[in-house]
Every structure is written in C-alpha cells, then in structure tokens.
Amino acid sequence: MHLIVGLGNPGPKYRGNRHNIGFMAVDEIVRQHGFSPWRKRFQGETSEGLMGADKVLILKPQTYMNESGRSVGEAMRFFDIDPSRVIVLYDELDLDPGKVRVRLGGGAAGHNGIRSMTAHCGPHFVRVRMGIGHPGHRELVHAHVLSDFARADRGWLEPLLTAVAGNLPLLVRGEEGSFQNKVHLALNPAPEKPSRKAEN
C-alpha cells in the first residue's frame, strides 16, 4: 500500500489558503481517480482506491499543519507502511508559483508540517513540493501562506492540480523523473513546430 498525504489546515477558514495546496491536490486526486468517499480516521480524513495494481490510501491530517505527523504516523503504523511508500504534497515558498519538485528525504526547510512529519515518521518519505512563491520579505511569509490564492493565480493553480493528480500514478510506480517532466510539460507545453508548406 502507498500512503499519499496532503498537508493543510482543517476547516472552511483555511480552505483557499496557499498553505492548503496539499489538501487541494489530494482532493483532485480523489476526484480524478474515483476514490472512495472521505471518512474520518487516524486523526484525519481518508479515501481509498487503486492506481493500477497499487492500493492507495489518501490522508488529509485534521491536526492542523504543525501536528501533521501525528496523524500520518498513526496511519503508517496501522498499515505498517514503509516511509519510502509515503508521498507528501505540500506548499513550497522557495519555488515559483506552479513549479514542482520531487525528492526522497531531506530537511524541513522551515516547513512546520514537514518538521512534524520528520519527528513522527522519520525523514525518508517522498516530498512533492508545489511552488507558491515567496512574498519577498521574511516578515510577510506568515500572512502570505495563510491568505487565499488570488484570482490571478487560477491560471496556473488549476492546471497544476489537474496535472499533479493525473500523473500521480507515475510517482506511485517510482517514476519521479517522468512525473516531474509530465507536470512541467502540462504547464509549459512545447511550442508547435510550423508546418512545412507543400512544395509545388
């Protein structure tokens, strides 16, 4: 089994926040792949389904961002899931809006949700960092992540969520490079080559 985690804060107050892009991504995964209705367990909300032959559990921790690891650790222990089969989707200040980077393991880089994950689950899980951009000054970061996406962001946000969800089976199969390339191409399609005029 694979465990796919979206990080965010629960409740309508936070639903549209930049910090909740992880919740938005797993909502789209559940929608696109026809997973089961959400139900409450593991201090979170879960949905189950298949990606190819792989059984997948989706989890949205409801413990608030700073305690995300409590919920994830509980699900991992219940199903005896190895950290390398855990995929976590979350916001990244230090990536431009719409950019995606994937890696196995690493540090928290100031992200409290990832810090909690590491404390409860160890560092060796797959991270899908989705860029939300940096406001430019450190003192503006808190307000930036806890404010809603602007209307102008929809031009990249919706295609990003669609591409991440649609290509997630590649990540489940361990094809990190292919996943990253497919998402990039979905948001930055290659220009069409001009057709050659028919020769007389």
Q: Residue 59 and residue 123: Cα distance in Å, rounded?
A: 18
> Taking a C-beta distance cutoff of 8 angstroms, is the pair 167, 182 a contact?
yes
Mind telling me the catalytic residues? Answer: 19
Instruction: Give how far Cα 189 sits from Cα of 60, 92, 171, Å.
Output: 31, 23, 21
Work out the number of other CB atoms within 10 angstroms of the CB of residue 187: 15
- 54-61/86-92 β-pairing: unpaired
